[in-house]
Amino acid sequence: MASASPIIGFDEFAAYLNKIFKITLSDIKILIREFHTEMQKGLTGYESSLKMIPSYVDRPNGKEKGQYIALDLGGTNFRVLSVELDGRGNASVTAVSKFAIDIADMQGTAEQLFGFIANCIHQFIEENQLDKRIQYDLAFTFSFPVDQTNIAAGKLLVWTKGFTAKGVEGEDVIVLLNEALKKKDIHCIRVAALANDTVGTLVARSYKDPSCDLGVILGTGTNACYPEKLVNIQKWRGLDPKGHMIINMEWGNFNKLRLTNYDKDLDLASPNTGAQFLEKMVSGMYLGEITRLVVQDMIHRGLIFLGSKCTAFEKKGSLLTENMSLVAEDNSANLGEVEFFLKSKGITNITAHDKNILKHVCDLVSTRAAKISGGSIAAVLSWMDPELKNKHTVGIDGSLFEKYPGFARKIKATCKDVFGENALNIEIVHAKDGSGKGAAIIAAVAAQSEK
């Protein structure tokens, strides 16, 4: 429970909340400096909260061609896709199946999770009547921190986003996938590439737009990747000194941010305490929970719902980021959505004051998240191009970016605050479905280089 500071009245408490959630331009400038220090350490191979993981892939040239199967694991759903690359910069999804992942599979064992994946692939093959005499190249988007050792191999470093399946951390996920495919008698699939979702997003966007040099996910979790000069990756010196390699930053683990007591409580109650601090302040899996902790604190202090000791928000997970989106969307004078949401929680005697407070808390929590996201984007762009002289397209995917009202606008405003007029060189685009398509392109790059 967030420790109760000696604040009693509503006005003082509101001022306190405004203060602890506020992110100023000077905070953003500090964030950028700290990001650069951590990036440098991560690239050199020193201990850093930014893992800066080489992906073994550079941006594509747009000529990659063929049909590929892609798997996308990383959030609440698992997807199997068939992707067609036309060799002229167009990637289209020709078939897709989406499967909800059971908590039992997420938090059970490696056999269960990879068995589930193999079952989904089997179903996809049957439903789409794939010709089993052909060998299909498959790309696996596995959106967790993986220490990659080549384009189709890598060990899971640590689980994030509520996954805890035993027997996967420290193991090569491609070996686990191949074992599961074999067990299920699936022989028409060759696993050709392993990719993080950020890398897929960047690759998919840069397939048709060479100015794209930053891929970002703002969804259940958050992370980013960018192409780094090989000479700067001191921990991994490649053969071609002029070349580039995409670096999966794992920025969700950045740990130089000022935490509120609510953030600390959330962290303590999470399965990965002490890790992923930026992710826990920014991404869709956690924003609802931070808001819940604030509301619950206000209930305990008697500052909301007419001082009633209601228990509607006692339970972890009883307020979701989707609920916040609804609340944020509602601009009507009577705040109908907020009323509807509170009623669904069994709260009846709702005042205009309550509705406004809830809306305000959602705004504080989500604005902080958007500003940290914008600051982190500015940090990577200024690392690549300190004066921001060149054009940069930032491809972003994820439900938070796509659906949370005002989130994208606040990211852009933060970049404008940092770079002034030069921010005109930044184009922020929604790179929808990037991770699946991008993985297919990576598989094509891998197949080409094998030839």
Closer by beta carbon to ligand BGC, 218 or else 294? 218
* Short-list 278, 253, 234, CA closest to 40: 234
Position of tokens 């509101």?
A: 14
Closer by beta carbon to ligand BGC, 128 or else 272? 272
- Least Å from the CB of residue 253 to ligand BGC: 7
* Short-list 69, 109, 105, CA closest to 85: 69
Q: Return the range that interacts with ligand BGC (CB under 6 A); candidates 25-33, 60-68, 143-151, 262-270.
A: 143-151
Site string for ligand BGC, 62-81 (x = CB under 6 A): ------------x-------
> What does the alpha-carbon distance between residue 234 and residue 85 come to, in Å, rounded to a whole number?
34
Annotation marks residue 237 as catalytic: no
Closer by beta carbon to ligand BGC, 55 or else 196? 196
170 Rama class: left (phi>0) / alpha (psi -120 to 50) / beta: left
- Least Å from the CB of residue 59 to ligand BGC: 17
* Short-list 193, 129, 99, 248, CA closest to 437: 193
Considering the rule CB under 6 A, would residue 144 count as an interface residue with ligand BGC? Answer: yes
Considering only 223, 260, 325, 373, the residue that binds ligand BGC (CB under 6 A) is 223
Burial category of 225 from C-beta neighbours within 10 Å (exposed 0-12, middle 13-18, buried 19 and up): buried
> What does the alpha-carbon distance between residue 111 and residue 108 come to, in Å, rounded to a whole number?
8
- Least Å from the CB of residue 151 to ligand BGC: 17
Among 48, 72, 79, 325, which one carries the catalytic annotation? Answer: 79
| DSSP three-state, residue 281 | helix
Closer by beta carbon to ligand BGC, 250 or else 265? 250
Considering only 48, 55, 198, 382, the residue that binds ligand BGC (CB under 6 A) is 198
Considering the rule CB under 6 A, would residue 201 count as an interface residue with ligand BGC? Answer: no
Give, as one character, the DSSP assignment of residue 421.
G
Among 105, 137, 197, 433, which one carries the catalytic annotation? Answer: 197
Burial category of 204 from C-beta neighbours within 10 Å (exposed 0-12, middle 13-18, buried 19 and up): buried
Binding to ligand BGC, residues 249-268 (CB under 6 A): 250, 252
- Least Å from the CB of residue 414 to ligand BGC: 20
* Short-list 413, 410, 299, CA closest to 361: 299
Closer by beta carbon to ligand BGC, 74 or else 395? 74
CB 117 within 8 A of CB 71: yes
- Least Å from the CB of residue 142 to ligand BGC: 8
Give, as one character, the DSSP assignment of residue 95.
E
Strand-pair partners of 97: 80
> What does the alpha-carbon distance between residue 312 and residue 344 come to, in Å, rounded to a whole number?
10
Closer by beta carbon to ligand BGC, 266 or else 295? 266
- Least Å from the CB of residue 242 to ligand BGC: 28
Q: Return the range that interacts with ligand BGC (CB under 6 A); candidates 14-22, 147-155, 191-199, 297-305.
A: 191-199
Annotation marks residue 11 as catalytic: no
- Least Å from the CB of residue 283 to ligand BGC: 7
Considering the rule CB under 6 A, would residue 376 count as an interface residue with ligand BGC? Answer: no
Considering the rule CB under 6 A, would residue 284 count as an interface residue with ligand BGC? Answer: no
Strand-pair partners of 394: 214, 428
Closer by beta carbon to ligand BGC, 59 or else 161? 161
Burial category of 442 from C-beta neighbours within 10 Å (exposed 0-12, middle 13-18, buried 19 and up): buried
Query: Cα torsion at 239, 240, 246, 248 (round to 10°)?
Result: 30
> What does the alpha-carbon distance between residue 417 and residue 233 come to, in Å, rounded to a whole number?
30
Considering only 143, 148, 325, 373, the residue that binds ligand BGC (CB under 6 A) is 143
Position of tokens 């299909």?
A: 136
* Short-list 316, 362, 324, CA closest to 341: 324
47 Rama class: left (phi>0) / alpha (psi -120 to 50) / beta: beta
- Least Å from the CB of residue 7 to ligand BGC: 34
Sign of CA dihedral 238, 43, 250, 373: negative
Considering the rule CB under 6 A, would residue 160 count as an interface residue with ligand BGC? Answer: yes
Q: What residue ranges in 24-133 does DSSP mark as E strands?
A: 53-54, 65-73, 77-86, 91-100
Closer by beta carbon to ligand BGC, 105 or else 250? 250
Site string for ligand BGC, 296-335 (x = CB under 6 A): ----------------------------------------
Among 48, 55, 82, 143, which one carries the catalytic annotation? Answer: 143
Considering only 59, 161, 244, 392, the residue that binds ligand BGC (CB under 6 A) is 161
Interface with ligand BGC (CB under 6 A): 74, 143-145, 160-161, 196-198, 217, 219, 221-223, 250, 252, 279
Could you give the residue numbers annotated as active site? 79, 143, 197
